[in-house]
Chains A and B, each alone.
Chain A
Amino acid sequence: MPKRDDLHKILIIGSGPIVISQACEFDYSGTQACKALKEEGYAIVLINSNPATIMTDPELADRTYIEPITAEAIERIIEAERPDALLPTLGGQTALNVTVQLAERGVLERFGVELIGAKLEAIKRAEDRALFKQTMTSVGLEIPKAGYARTLEEARALAQAFGFPVVVRPSFTLGGTGGGVAYNAEEFDRVAGHGLALSMVHQISVEESVIGWKEFELEVMRDRADNVVVVCSIENVDPMGVHTGDSITVAPAQTLTDREYQEMRDAAITVIRAIGVETGGSNIQFAVHPESGRLLVIEMNPRVSRSSALASKATGFPIAKIAAKLAVGYTLDELPNDITKQTPACFEPTIDYVVVKVPRFAFEKFPGADPTLGIQMKSVGETMAIGRTFAEALQKGMRGLEVKKDGWDAGGAWPLDLLRERLAVPSAERMFLLKAALAGGLSLEELYQLTKIDRWFLRQLYQLVVEEETLAAAAEPMRACENAAPSPEAAAKAAQTLRLAKQLGYSDRQLAKLWGVDEATIRRWRAQWNVRPSYYLVDTCAAEFEAKTPYYYSTYETPVVALTAKQEAGSRKLEKPLQPPAKKVVSLGGGPNRIGQGIEFDYCCVHAAFALRGLGVQVIMVNSNPETVSTDYDTSDTLYFEPVTLEDVLNIVDRERPDGVIVQFGGQTPLNLAVGLAKAGVPILGTSAEGVDAAENREKFKRLLEELGLQQPPSGTAMAVDDAALTARAVGYPCLVRPSYVLGGRAMEIVYDEKQLRRFAQIAFEASPGFPVLIDKFLEDAIEVDVDLVGDGETFVIGGILEHIEEAGIHSGDSAMVLPPHTLGDEVLDAIREATIRLAKALKIVGLMNVQYAVKDDIVYVLEVNPRASRTVPFVSKAIGVPLAKIATRAMFGLSLREQGFTREVAVESYCAVKESVFPFTRFPGVDIILGPEMKSTGEVMGLDAAFGPAFLKSQLAAGQLLPKSGTVFVSVKNEDKRFITLVAQQLQQLGFELVATHGTAKALQRLGVRATPVKKIHEGRPNVLDLITDGQIQLVINTPSGRLPRADEVRIRSAAAALGIPCITTIAGAQASVSGIAALLQRPLTVKPLQEYHAALRRQVGG
């Protein structure tokens, strides 16, 4: 069946900001869909609030709406655009949920919009647990015993009937938010109550526990001719009980016989048909009882997912792209397999390697968060590794995880009893603890009983531990090879040992440690002894057909011996690079997403690839993050799915011999490799190493600023805690303490006295061992400003100036920002412009540069200069309609800004762009939501409108802060803020809000003529403010923290508000901005406008 010609315009809904359980994978799938449908000639209307996505690049869709993903906003878009169809299956749970709302409000019917991919009934059958159960039962499939409850009493009755443990899942939420396991009645009341509160439909399911069962997922695709294929099977190493997003997972399934696998495959096909997903991909999860093989269907996502992105990267089968084509009427047999070109997409990939996905956690960012893994997802990113064996892939995954591990390392010995205790509870560390346990002699059977991790995986791990002992025992002969030239026999033996180690996935660094030599020695040995990686293709077919797409992974294999000359000639061309020689550039990605290094950097890497391909340069991408657009084999000419470590990158450089490597776009990960790469003689593109050093070396930078006559807050460095105390005294309190070489403000703190300083200096030393701790004077109540600039070494142009909304002291990645600046005067802005250009000139910036300033009493202080892509580059690019990263890339490749026609800063005058950050606090109940110098946000949104008020409002809506139109505001601020809060309170009152306040604040307000009802603090008795919040009597909380170490009851108030979805504002500046937003909300209904129109207005402005 060919594509449908009755459709012309298709609306695609994105997934919004990056949050836990919805990350870049939906940019990957959405981008694929936009490209796929555009190439079929359809007009694409896109909505996504996340400016850091590739899909919201203005050229990907015909009309790109960066607006909050709410039913209201989409209704307006539909009204304006009149699309023929809506494709709801590519934007995660967010898109599905809002689609259900649109359908139920009758919007789709009113405007004649057809749902393609999955119809409303199918979405409901998959999402509503009662309907799901009914559907599964009707086709003879089993699901865990379960019931549904709308009240706590109903829920209790169910739990009693099933017996503990039971699992609670709320209907219609993200990634199992609010779900949990209860082992007793008391725990049950808490988990069930929480779930009921968080469910969009106030319904939870209570289920028989299948904790410890084996867990599998199948990725299934169906077309409208009812052809169904299974793209990939995935087995979770962590058994049932741990959210699949938090599990280490493996593709393909390892422990199923064909009979069991086919039974599961049959079930999956039955499920997709019964649910009625007409076209596209679905993810189906299964549990298998380890002793009986009993098969249960756990859940079904009628859309592409994190797992489908993983499956796409794991097999080379582009699920989202194919899903988009199926949605417009193609059948699988009509579409080609992208990798082979010759064979159709109607097949099931078979792979001849093992894929391991490892989740990346960020518990260090949320002290007090419960680090136990359960059915609610907590990881913030993931890395994927490919190897020919599980052991090799696991080790690669561990070193790609960026948790200071060079592979699967135990990180020390543990007492066995403590290990037993900790292994019984799933955690981020469990995989590492297993190594300690195996090395400590715990038996496989005991480990199985403790963890229920399948014995096959445990046995693989055990094998590594055993082999490592052999390797360790070889230390002496290996070291002997270091100094004296070994005899041929000794060399052959050493080479054999080295090859075995590499086949087991050991990194050069691990081996260097094991054998007491340095990393470079291992590298030299590998070259001498010809122990080199083979680069094999991800080809969907286990080499059965020729692959035309160069998508590689590395592995170490036993070389084939050629017994005849003819054979030797033949084997040499086994798997050579497929591309003809051209100018080549390697772009290094950032590895797994984590807080501080996320999609913004991947966006820059992708733009670098697009820009270079536009210049006819062959682009080689190296990255290990399966969620991203950068690891789509379509993005670059050649993709290496590899850990971004020095060893892995150098191996690729050896093979590809590129003309240059880009390290400044992928965040800190590739930047940290710059020195090692430069040392190895690899040409680094962009700003010279001296320029980078002048910006990053504190002393040199200080001198530079002095030369340029620029101000910096007093600062100093220290190499020890005592030293730090002296420095802080010289600098003056309060001061900012932070470690060297980290991103996202890791271990960064504002300290007010020596006691705090000592404590946090210690933490900073631990975060970046061996490097100095940096101490700066903290400028209280200053306004912070971020500037992004692009340069070619001679010409420098400011991309954008962003004013932070919150005052200084909050990490720039967490702060809301506005472009153009809304409070700073022209004089200050000109001073900032001048300073930025002078810095860029002095550093001879080629590429991107970001400068952070603090403005206090009209004096501009330079806080930081980063000669690399910053987190704000995508936001600024979208705000000004200029792709800064592309321009920077071309400049790095020698094209001047003049030649590119970008020589003047774009003046945004007719509208306002607000960036707001999105936080994962609902995932970590009880954690204080207060912001500080350590970054905590996972993502960002953009609000665009004609004025600050509505733009800010949109940013809040998009971030899930639903500012109220009316109701009661609770106000409690610290003493210093009481003066400033009065204006806010007055405005709120004028807008019709009731105010309640703690006694102190209420008194302060009343003195200045603002009526506020006093309410008890938590420790003052009941009913207190917490009761009002939980009773739903408060619609907005304004609470500024009383000090650096906040009081416990403040934390409880903020945490409760966050958990109940009540907007909670923790800064005066934020409160002021919110009042503007609420005023805008009351003034007129929201309007929507596509990015292309904003940009056209800018061009008219420049032209006129």
Chain B
Amino acid sequence: MQTPPRLDLSGITKRFPGVLANDQVSFAVQPGEIHALLGENGAGKSTLVKMIYGIMQPDAGEIAWNGARITIANPKAARKLGIGMVFQHFSLFEAMTVLENIALGMDAKIPARDLEAKIVAVMQQYGLKLEPHRIVSTLSVGERQRIEIVRALLLNPNLLIMDEPTSVLTPQEVEQLFVVLRQLAKEGCSILYISHKLHEIKALCDTATILRGGKLVDTCDPAKETSRSMAEKMIGGSLKDIQRGEGRALGTAKLTVQNLSIPKDGPFGIALKDISFSVKAGEIFGIAGVAGNGQNALLLALSGETPSLKPDAIQIDGSKIAALTAKQRRLAGMASVPEERNGHAAVPDFSLSDNAILTARDRMGMVSGGMVNARSARTYAGEVIAAFSVKATGPGAMADSLSGGNLQKFIMGREIMQKPQVLVVSQPTWGVDAGAAAAIHQALVDLAATGSAIVVISQDLDELLSLCDTLAVINEGNLSKPMPVAGANIEEIGLLMGGVHGDPNAPTHISSEVAHAY
């Protein structure tokens, strides 16, 4: 008799107030299969996996585990079955250490010392670099994700659900993760892999299930599809390429950063060391690097949230702005988008209109005599929603009612439509679907075409390579020499990201050795 599927979903339906998140979704994951789950933001992928992990219950439909019908009452029950999950949004307590966070996620009580030994063993086995005693609040997004991965691996899962795991990793780290995942699959563990990176899915996955608007549109073999054909199934239309104007010429230096140094803001923070670069009018300047190498500090230093003591360290068109506050820098033409959407770039429980006031009030004339002109804020928010095709009920919609991708489009639009002289963005398309990412990229290219200087800080190297004119790599607070993207050597960039001068045991630049380890 044939082995039953590890996981078999049939007719799964889940309704939320106002949305049908999953509509009659049925598919199966075989033992040892790496199964991709594809779809735009809001397509219902997260809802579906939450039901598999027992966080939510389906309104209708059945889940079968190894052939037996089951109800997964809660995540503890899911873990007991051997279902592990790495979330896109991490569930970590910021004030606790890595070790404490992992201990909290364990159902069995294990003495801290034994647990630490187990964690170190898992990390060594899979080449994941993490210091168990660091406080989570001091860790970068990428490092936080490693905690989640270790936490899931500690449970020896039979089915591992990974929600966008590679968005914050270097190419070498991705490769390494794939080695881990393939190894797990070979041992019989099924993997349900959610990602927007279609070439990764082509490289890694055996099967792909594509969702759109809560419905299953196709289950296909990624090896037989192209990235483009899968993307078009996801968005239900044809995908647009970045349109660049003909005969683009770069202007003179607009943003100049000279020997910018910022001390670290905590025991585990990253200090910026003598950072110098300049971005010309019309140029898109990319900053690559592994999470936690000073990207955040650099964005805060440029946006003005961390002012510098040296006024000439940052200049726009020759005027010194490094000693100015965030508000003054905006007036001087500098706009920025930090990596964290919720609570940093936007206020979750404020309306989009109020979120427009947050950063656009001075440049867009929403303030006179200390009073806010609510009407002009609403108008501006409405314009952003229309111009960037933000799916929202209107300017009065709460920011947290939008999906991640739609909120990101709104935030990017809010800054871009202010026509800043300089725009600094961090992770502009993190967790954003292909359609929205293409729209955001196009908007950045269009803004550059009007003569603005743009800095894109991203851990997604593909994004930088397709978007930028010039690229530099940040590693432990040092910025490499900028290089033109045309003719850039990926291997070399990867080595810079891993820190060729850094820790020789760092796992990031030894992709060839990783292969030997198994």
Interaction A to B? no
- Name B residues whose Cβ lies closer than 8 Å to a Cβ of A: none
- Name A residues whose Cβ lies closer than 8 Å to a Cβ of B: none
